[in-house]
Chains A and B, each alone.
Chain A
Amino acid sequence: MSALLIAVPLLIAFLFVPLKNKIKYILPFVALFSLILILKLPIEQVNFLGGWKAPFGITLVLDNSSYYSLIVVNIIFFLLSLIPQIIEKDLSLIFLILMASINGLILTGDLFNSFVFLEITSVAAYILSSSKRNYYGAFKYLILGSIAGAFYLLGTLYSYIGTGSLNLADISKNINSEFLAVVPILIFIGLAVETKIFPLAGWVPDVYASGSALTPAILATGVTFSMMYLFGRIFITVFHGEFLNVVYIFGLITVVVAELSALKQDNLLRALSFSSIAQAGLFLSVISMNSYESLTAGYFHLLNDITAKFVLFIIAASIGKSFIKNKTTGIAFSIASFSLIGFPLFAGFRSKLLILKTAFLNQNYILPIILLFATIIEIAYVLRWNIKLWYPDNILPQEKEKTQKLSWNVNLILLIVALVIIVIGFYPDIYLKIAQNIASGLTNYRAYVTNVLGGM
């Protein structure tokens, strides 16, 4: 059943190649279909493709963590498909392919298979990022992504040599110290480009700030989330938290460096993409503490971040120089930015508290200091942008004429998401439950192994 999540979007993408112009209208139905399908699927189910038993064939694993990650990612796809204005017409196909590959990336229980999906995702992302004639940015992304992909493949190879298997559960069971010396490094570099770790995230500002609303809205939310899921799956479930101390340091460096770079950006999209890098770094250093609580805090924060970024990126790309004609949009933008900063009443505050609490619980005093320092810088530039857009100085009348109102469906969706941010600020249970489930699925690697390989 779960294979349908990958097959259906791909199939529809192929079927509709001749009808490229109509495909836009089919997107919401496909997204809705996969969302309903996921909700119908039973958790703790393993799908052996071709009938080959676990270590030998490719498996699609649906456990707590992949189930909830799928829901999150597909909700994002569904929301995006409801605002077809931002999807340029050639990109609808890519949208479907991206959907298939991300579903596959989350579902797969096989290292080589995950490489394949990673590559498909990357290729789709390259094409997405070349929209609005942003060829140089896409080229940079392509080069970096290919190198990273090569390293990921190399890591897969070494893990096959080291353990004789490509199945994640099997690797997790059979890991030994020789193997651990080399594979995590290779996989880490392979994933570092997509998880935006310094200094391998050079592509992010160029790609996110292309001016297209779809590119950052999908790359900074859905794709980032699935990559973070994969990162957690590999480093926590498979490698049992090995190598995370290095990730921790890289994460912290990423936070500081990205926030400092964001300070001087005179393009809103670039500033937001640096903030996106910083939040990714923060997330990685939080989950590097490798406990159930820290993973919960990390994924909770990631959820809040992508919710806020979803609103911020779409508005930043589609609004002109001010909110003069789009006040509702402006309100959604401000709510999202307050959540990003972590003002009380908004969602980001709850995850910030949780992160601080876990960090202190782990006797970790450096992470809170870095987090608070980074937030101060973030406050400076995010609020400066808010003020700039709300109180624009010297706007020419003809420019004012030129800014058009966003259409109602964009506004509606953005407002709904903004409302979700406020609701989560008061009742964080929905997001917390998702984060807790992901965390419990990732940390409980014994259950994962028995689930996939059968009772042993």
Chain B
Amino acid sequence: MIPISYLVLVFLFGSVVSYLITKANRIVGAIFNFLLTFYALFVLWNLEIGHTEKLFSILEGVENTFKVSSLGKYFSIISLIVISLVSFFIIEWIRKKPSRPAAFNAFVLIMSAGIIGVFFSNDLLTLYIFWEIAVLGSFLIVPMGKEDSKKAAVIYVVTSAIGSYMYLFATFSIYNKYGILEFDQVSRFLLNEPSNLFKWFIILFIASAGIAKSGIFPLHTWLRITHGNAPDAFSAILSGQLVKMGSYVLAISLSVFPSTKLLASFYSGVPLLNYILIWLGNISIIIGTFMAIRQNDMKQLIAYSSVANGGYILVGLGVMNSIGYAGGLFHVFNHAIAAAMIFLSFAAVVYRTGTTKIDEMGGLIWKMPWTFVTYLVGIISLAGIPPTSGFISKWMIFNALLTKGMFVTLTITFIGSVGSFLYVFRPLAGVFLGQLKKKHYEVKEVSPVMLIPMLVLTLLTLFIGVYPKPVLDFIVSIENSLGIKPIEYSGTIIKTSLGQWDTLTVFTMFAVGFIIALVLYIIFPRGKKVELTDQYTGGEYLFNYDLYHYATGFYRFLERLYDKHPSFEKLYGMLVSFFKSMGEIINELFYKVSPSGYVFWISIVILILFWVRW
């Protein structure tokens, strides 16, 4: 088995190979990418926990190493599942990709190299280095998308930099104070640290990288524009995988540095710091849900849903008890898979129709049934409806909140869940159901190459929904390694203090219900199929059915309630223009003035200097 460091190198050099191959033939290049990522998945699956590799040493006293931890392995396998399946999807998708397929393929591999490195880093600095490589690779892909994607790329990389530089600042504070950077040593030193302020500062600053990356309020604004405008297939990786890197850092800052032991309890065993983070998660859930309801662009809609789901993960991780932490981790898996499914089905729709606007589509279920199935299962999982895996994690998070007595948070998570029913239904109704537009009469289902990864993801989420043991095994080993009481489960039954949940029973009930419905559907006479305009309203026959597309203003009755909401995007826009006008003022005052102005400034400087000195 090849060591992880070699694997990373293979990806870095593979990016050059992939570039050259794609130059010659873009499909072969994409196949190469898929094979490489799939091979990486295979390698990572077989890694032993505790396997260590020396890399290099940048700062004295700190040996930069890779170490396989349960947490890292769990995240890396989820990531590679998403990346390799999306790479499979890309084999077909890249045919229509307008510009620079070679660079696209090369950057995907650079990004994957960074991602693998992030999850196996054993110290803060190595994590930072690979983190930036992943950011660099993904940043270079984003501007290949739609018109706004160039702006999106800059917003993305700046937001990411804000988080990662806060992280870097904390890293150097630790290094300066203790002289070490390894996670386990840092947590040991932090346990002996007398200053509460320092602990707060470290955990918050480390977590801020995760907050920026996973789109938690107040750094959530980049998700809409970036996910919405990135190349379609790449949005699946962005939302399904890259955002999870943020969750990983959040998990590290809260659990690898044991926040519950470091800080005093504030509310039923949860420290104030975690409580604040939980509230950030709550706000993200609210913002993500309510903003998603408003969107007309389907990719931006799911981008906001990623904000909300990032909030769920943070809430789960923040509670830091056995069931809540497990719920957070499980939700990482669910959201990664569901987001990948949804974005891939969107990519398939865009591949065929060329638009992302919901109100320009409709009735595609007749033309693209398998894409519809993928989307349907994806949103069922996202909304947390059994028997998909999405339900299990939400159930665990609700459970944890209930046992901790956090009723406000519980209410918000419920509102988020109900809201997610609303917003995922909008693309369902607008894109797949309803009336098929005339211009889409010729649309065909996408080819099997695109369908296979979508259906594999569908089966995966259904399978884990019925038989969650593989994921739960991982979670138990993670909780064991972090000193959290592992969740109890046996077979398909998950136990908590509030009761238990048998996934198999639920699945059987749903299956029986489905079969009954199917039988009824077969027994009863079919409905009559009519032409789209063969109906009347208000005593008039319809002639122009375009007017009756009901995706426009779909949730107008709800949106009206918060039309004049405060917008953080606007606030940050104002901040940017403030900085810009500051720069303009400085420029006008000091850099653009005539020579006589310079003489004036020189005299001022001399006066200041003499005043300072005497």
Contacts and interface: CB of A to CB of B under 8 A. Distances in A.
A143 interface: yes
User: Which of B150, B158, B591, B610 has most A Cβ within 10 Å?
Assistant: B591
B172 A376 contact: no
B595 interface: yes
Contacts of B59: 353, 357
Nearest to B603: A147
Nearest to B610: A185
A391 B144 contact: yes
B203 to A, nearest CB: 18
Interface string A341-383: 0011100011001001100110000001100100111011001
Given A261-B587, A387-B150, A344 B128 contact: yes
Contacts of A198: 590
Nearest to A344: B129
A144 interface: yes
A257 B154 contact: no
B175 A357 contact: yes
Contacts of B580: 263-264
Contacts of B133: 343-345
A424 B582 CA distance: 36
B612 A257 contact: no
B27 to A, nearest CB: 22
A308 interface: no
Interface residues of B, number: 55
B601 A357 contact: no
Given A192-B605, A264-B580, A384-B154, A201 B613 contact: no
Given A189-B606, A199-B601, A139 B595 contact: yes
B304 to A, nearest CB: 24
B176 A360 contact: yes
Contacts of B595: 139-140, 143-144
Nearest to B166: A372
Contact of B165 (A148, A338, A376, A393): A376
B169 A372 contact: yes
Contacts of B172: 356-357, 360, 368
Contacts of B587: 261, 264
**Pairs A-B, 10 closest by C-beta atoms:** A360-B176, A260-B583, A143-B595, A372-B165, A344-B129, A199-B601, A199-B590, A261-B583, A261-B587, A264-B580
A205 B592 CA distance: 9
Interface string B588-601: 00111111011101
30 contacts: A140-B595, A143-B595, A144-B595, A181-B613, A185-B606, A189-B602, A198-B590, A199-B590, A199-B605, A200-B598, A200-B602, A202-B601, A203-B598, A260-B582, A262-B583, A343-B132, A343-B133, A343-B136, A344-B128, A344-B132, A345-B129, A357-B175, A360-B173, A360-B176, A372-B169, A380-B154, A383-B153, A383-B154, A387-B143, A390-B143
A274 to B, nearest CB: 8
Contacts of A260: 579, 582-583, 586
Interface string B155-182: 0011001100110110011011000000
A215 to B, nearest CB: 17
Given A148-B602, A360-B175, 17 more contacts: A147-B599, A147-B602, A189-B602, A203-B598, A263-B580, A263-B583, A264-B581, A343-B133, A357-B59, A368-B169, A369-B169, A379-B157, A383-B153, A387-B153, A388-B150, A391-B150, A393-B150
B143 to A, nearest CB: 5
A246 interface: yes
Interface of B: 58-59, 99, 128-130, 132-133, 136, 139, 143-144, 147, 150, 153-154, 157-158, 161-162, 165-166, 168-169, 172-173, 175-176, 579-584, 586-587, 590-595, 597-599, 601-602, 604-606, 609-610, 612-614
B161 A200 contact: no
A202 B593 contact: yes
- By DSSP majority rule, is chain A's interface helix, strand, loop, or mixed? helix
A199 B591 CA distance: 8
Contacts of B175: 357, 360
A383 B613 contact: no
Contacts of B136: 338, 343
Contacts of A78: none
A83 B158 CA distance: 36
A308 B586 CA distance: 26
Interface in A158-207: 181, 185, 188-189, 192, 198-205
Question: In the complex, which of the residues B150, B157, B165, B583 has the most CB atoms of chain A within 10 Å of its own CB atom?
Answer: B583
A418 to B, nearest CB: 15
B158 A376 contact: yes
A198 B587 CA distance: 11
Contact of A185 (B169, B581, B609): B609
Contacts of A148: 602
Interface string A289-300: 000000000000
Contacts of B128: 344
Contact of B157 (A264, A383, A393): A383
A369 B165 CA distance: 9
Contacts of B584: 261, 264
Given A188-B609, A368-B172, A372-B165, A181 B153 contact: no
Contacts of A391: 99, 143-144, 150
A379 B161 contact: yes
B169 A181 contact: no
A356 B125 CA distance: 13
Contacts of B586: 257, 260-261
B136 to A, nearest CB: 5
Contacts of A147: 598-599, 602
A356 B133 CA distance: 20
Contacts of A261: 583-584, 586-587, 591
Contacts of A368: 169, 172
Contacts of A263: 579-580, 583
A202 B599 CA distance: 11
